[in-house]
Structure 1
């Protein structure tokens, strides 16, 4: 072979190598400029494929929430193509029964919906991962985050705002010439409202319901006076005797004066039932409501519902804070992927559109603003209730795990009083006995 032909072959080989390298570069899946979601088939900078991850996730709620959440999960899998989900969704009671079983076997799902009434218990048992390292700046108010921490750690990413107050039938009250409930009204104002309503409403209609059988309604009264809640730190029993009798004797007199519905009427009420709901049925002019539930009343009484905060005492009244969260199991083998997902769940605008108001008012103000233009009064009335509750709101004091029997006992004993079957003194004695028994049992754990 001549020297010239050898040189030509060398040049041809070099050209073919250059073309091959160029084609290889063009076929690369990610050149670092697109910022796209990782794909299970892509090569990372370390030369290894992004591993496929399946996140198990569990939540409770109505069908509208289920369908919206499934849409959001599908969206995430399209954006982050190496992540798929195994979802499980149940009704409230079934959820907690199933979760208790999973917790006992240390097989809780990677991601799970969590409630304010249970999160402290699950966190203190070491079942939830600390999520304090998730950057929520610009997404959730830092002051709110601090309030939600347990022993300085964050065990749940808040999903929505919540709070409690009263809904009232504005149209019917105005028609009867009754003074409307006003923001930051006191317990004295509330009881005076009940008396005025009795004087101006026809027989069989009432300004307020007889809520004396609910432990939580008295707790609102006790904490508004600057006292601790009935269950302190989930263990200690704390029922203020003087306040309790003052409160219960007021309702006892109201029953005698027909200011509240008789026991048989009160016991037949069923919230959110068009015919049996105390307010929707037209029997009572006011009803307790939460930010998440008041929209149902607006749907049953369109254009007639007003909202106001709980009656207040020297320390305030009611509560307003997040009560529903996404948590990560401490036993998850996919913690980092789970953390990335829960942050996305409250920050991605497409996810916000898919989820809508199915968990209440989105915790991310930017998401809420995106949804607001398409909202109806049914959607915005929850925000109205939140706004009126915030100023005087106290912390959220749910019944902690272990107090279920006490709650039932309180209800049973007070219903017996309402029906005239026993005295307030006897009911108090039985309630205190059950409270002290529960405290003793829990303190030994």
Structure 2
């Protein structure tokens, strides 16, 4: 199936998407007229307004996020003296080990942090409350709200922006006399740019990395030419476009033979964000993929040298730009109205916004970002630049479908074998396609 055919046959699956980061607000704490007008409607009967309430709130993150969130909870209690909290917080892995047991025992806290990769599953299990009655007009952009809905309903309030782009070493490109990447470049232009750039670099330095074993990079390519996501969020549908697969990987193989991308043994030694082993910080490669959440670390390791551009585009767009982190409410909470009121406060209250800062990324509410912006460091501003440059071409965020962990792992190992010449592209496609179809069939039969 060619690109045009793929466009006609494309299946658009709702991505389990939402953007990983931020929080903030417009607020009661300031008591100015404009902030009061932005406060959420309580949705509470008069008699319930001052009743003593304890809300459970569970989240994951680093220590900086924990401290900021606990401080924000104190702000809320100061503004609403009848409401206190029972906080639970932990690291990422521990969180996703604990949440399933809480769901099974029906002891999920009233408010829970949720990620794009898991929301579909928890919605299907009846864990997440419908938040469609929370008025987010003028707070969360309309298109973002539509993108994160599941079956037309809102189950999580986005906290922050996230997007996929490409970081590049502006200083080194300029020094080598290589034209800088430009917004809106196509896949063809991206590969041509890399070929030309290589002519201006020494043998052991490369304009782009080798994405052969990265399934998500091929998925962006397939989706950008109308082939849709490789698998649906529920894992019941699978489509690995044969023609686009061979086209993409044949191009990369040619680039590898021409020394435009690093040799296989060099590529597989890279460790993202390691000062010595990261492909960019090591000086080996002048570009690499980056998200709003990861660009901060890269800028810290290479201060003043990093700039960003969108992922190459095809007829259907390129890359993604969506929230991937948000707050939800437990469907069986005894305090639904209070929990919803708190969730809206979390992203709109000005004092909360100042307290939370960028601990969950770039705030989804523009008014909060504007308030924080004057005091942001270059590394923080760069994340907003990435989000903005990616937005115009962005496709939905396509996470791995339910039950497809085995396939994702198999893709990496199989394509690494291709990189080393241990497996043909034909055999690789046959194995990956058969495994994907088998997993999808199993999911449909459950």
Q: TM-score range by the shorter chain?
A: 0.7 to 0.9
**CA separation in 2, counterparts of 1:45 and 1:185?**
54
1:401-420 Cα offsets, whole Å, 9 max, x none, are: 31111111111111121222
1:286-309 Cα offsets, whole Å, 9 max, x none, are: 010111211111111111111100
After the TM superposition, which residues 391-410 of structure 1 pair with which residues of structure 2 at under 5 Å, given as runs?
391-410=392-411
**CA separation in 1, counterparts of 2:45 and 2:159?**
34
**CA separation in 1, counterparts of 2:316 and 2:325?**
25
**CA separation in 2, counterparts of 1:165 and 1:391?**
12
Paired position in structure 2 for 1:364: 365
Paired position in structure 1 for 2:340: 339
Paired position in structure 2 for 1:18: none
**CA separation in 2, counterparts of 1:184 and 1:364?**
26
Q: CA shift at 1:175, angstroms?
A: 0.6
Change (3 A) 1:257 1:74: same
Paired position in structure 2 for 1:257: 258
- Preserved CA contact (<8 Å) 2:233 2:400: no
After the TM superposition, which residues 55-66 of structure 1 pair with which residues of structure 2 at under 5 Å, given as runs?
55-66=55-66
Paired position in structure 2 for 1:84: 84
TM-score for both structures, normalised by structure 2: 0.87
**CA separation in 2, counterparts of 1:249 and 1:148?**
35
After the TM superposition, which residues 292-303 of structure 1 pair with which residues of structure 2 at under 5 Å, given as runs?
292-303=293-304
Aligned residues: 403
Q: CA shift at 1:233, angstroms?
A: 4.6
Q: CA shift at 1:142, angstroms?
A: 2.8
- State whether structure 2 residue 421 is matched by structure 1 residue 424: no
Change (3 A) 1:45 1:135: closer
Paired position in structure 2 for 1:97: 97
- Preserved CA contact (<8 Å) 1:130 1:155: yes
**CA separation in 1, counterparts of 2:86 and 2:277?**
39
Paired position in structure 2 for 1:31: none
**CA separation in 2, counterparts of 1:336 and 1:354?**
24
**5+ unaligned residues in a row in structure 1: which ranges?**
1-35, 37-43
- Preserved CA contact (<8 Å) 2:65 2:360: yes
- Preserved CA contact (<8 Å) 1:60 1:90: yes
Paired position in structure 1 for 2:15: none
Computing the radius of gyration from Cα coordinates, the structure with the larger value is 1
Change (3 A) 1:47 1:114: closer
**CA separation in 1, counterparts of 2:166 and 2:53?**
45
Paired position in structure 2 for 1:236: 237
**CA separation in 1, counterparts of 2:188 and 2:196?**
12
1 or 2 for the larger relative contact order (CA 8 Å, sep ≥6)? 2
**5+ unaligned residues in a row in structure 2: which ranges?**
1-35, 37-43
Paired position in structure 1 for 2:201: 201
- Preserved CA contact (<8 Å) 1:113 1:325: yes
Change (3 A) 1:188 1:47: closer
After the TM superposition, which residues 209-358 of structure 1 pair with which residues of structure 2 at under 5 Å, given as runs?
209-234=209-234, 235-358=236-359
Q: CA shift at 1:277, angstroms?
A: 1.1
Q: Tell me the C-alpha RMSD between the 2 structures.
A: 1.8
- Preserved CA contact (<8 Å) 2:183 2:310: yes
Q: CA shift at 1:48, angstroms?
A: 8.6
1:226-264 Cα offsets, whole Å, 9 max, x none, are: 121101353200010010011111111222222111222
Paired position in structure 2 for 1:146: 146
**CA separation in 2, counterparts of 1:45 and 1:223?**
48
Change (3 A) 1:49 1:233: closer
- Preserved CA contact (<8 Å) 2:120 2:233: no
3-state SS of 1:89 partner: strand
Q: CA shift at 1:400, angstroms?
A: 2.6
- Preserved CA contact (<8 Å) 1:292 1:360: yes
Paired position in structure 2 for 1:14: none
**CA separation in 2, counterparts of 1:154 and 1:405?**
30
Name which of structure 1's ranges 256-265 and 173-182 shifts more when overlaid on structure 2.
256-265
Q: CA shift at 1:322, angstroms?
A: 1.3
- Preserved CA contact (<8 Å) 1:187 1:311: yes
Paired position in structure 2 for 1:132: 132
Change (3 A) 1:351 1:174: same
**CA separation in 1, counterparts of 2:239 and 2:85?**
44
Paired position in structure 1 for 2:3: none
**CA separation in 1, counterparts of 2:405 and 2:335?**
34
Change (3 A) 1:311 1:75: same
**CA separation in 1, counterparts of 2:146 and 2:427?**
42
Q: CA shift at 1:141, angstroms?
A: 2.2
- Preserved CA contact (<8 Å) 2:233 2:399: no
- Preserved CA contact (<8 Å) 1:118 1:400: no
**CA separation in 2, counterparts of 1:145 and 1:249?**
38
**CA separation in 2, counterparts of 1:46 and 1:326?**
26
After the TM superposition, which residues 1-12 of structure 1 pair with which residues of structure 2 at under 5 Å, given as runs?
none
